[in-house]
Amino acid sequence: MSEGFIQRTPITLANSSGGYRGIPTKVGTLLASATNYIRLDVDKHVSKVDWVISYDKAATLAFFFAETNVTGCTIKLDDAKAIEDTDAFDFNGLTFIAETTEAHAVASERKFYAPSQAVAAANLATLLADSTYGVPGIGSIAVTAPTTYDLLTIAGGSASCYQLKKGSGDADEFILAETTLASLIKDNDTPSVTDTTAAGNSTKGGTKVGQWTDGAPYVYLGITNNAASDAMTYSVKAVRHWS
């Protein structure tokens, strides 16, 4: 296949140490055994993508297609374990904190009022979507209240990925779930890459893997931290080839 214009300057899609406004999407460190899925928007004229991935722990890289923006996640507030004061979680490198005293729920500190599960869910959705103090690039948020829990279902937005991590409080007070993988199409023509080096490729400029787009409007990289217990710092860039 012949190639035309190549975007020589890589675009940074996600970075554990970068800024958190706009692109690149700011993420925190990736927990041991966890996976993040990073999206790159392409069009019918982009024939190939060169992913450039840097990471400082043993890792597995996997490659996917998608017909729509399928980046998504859920946050479940279980009625069986009520949220307590100062319980927290991280979303794309930002910490969100529950407050049971209304006066302490200051948006600029990313704190939301949580007098009950239902009110907490509504207030959390509002804060996550806030244009100043919320998650940059977040998609639409639907809040539902099945019988025993409240659920925030978050659709894809302009952010290249969603990374959720539990903070303080009991494990089942915020139940965080990545939903992106369920809608991805595995690219078997671009085999997964497993790097067993404990220090990853952090002493190099990164690992480059080429992926043909086959006309798909979106391609995804899945990066998994294979370390036994240590968190991973990583960066994902991409170079697009226009045909």
- What is the full per-residue pLDDT of the chain (243 aa) written as tens digits? 445 566 666 888 998 865 444 445 889 999 999 999 999 999 888 999 999 999 999 999 999 999 999 999 999 998 888 889 999 999 999 999 999 999 999 999 999 999 999 999 999 999 999 999 999 999 999 999 998 999 999 999 999 999 999 887 666 789 999 999 999 999 999 999 999 999 999 777 789 999 999 999 999 999 999 999 999 999 999 999 987
Q: How many CB atoms are closer than 10 A to CB 12?
A: 15
CATH of 11-67+184-242, one of 2.170.190.11, 2.60.120.380, 3.40.50.10860, 3.40.50.2300: 2.60.120.380
pTM: 0.92
- Segments making up each domain of the chain, as ranges: 11-67+184-242, 73-180
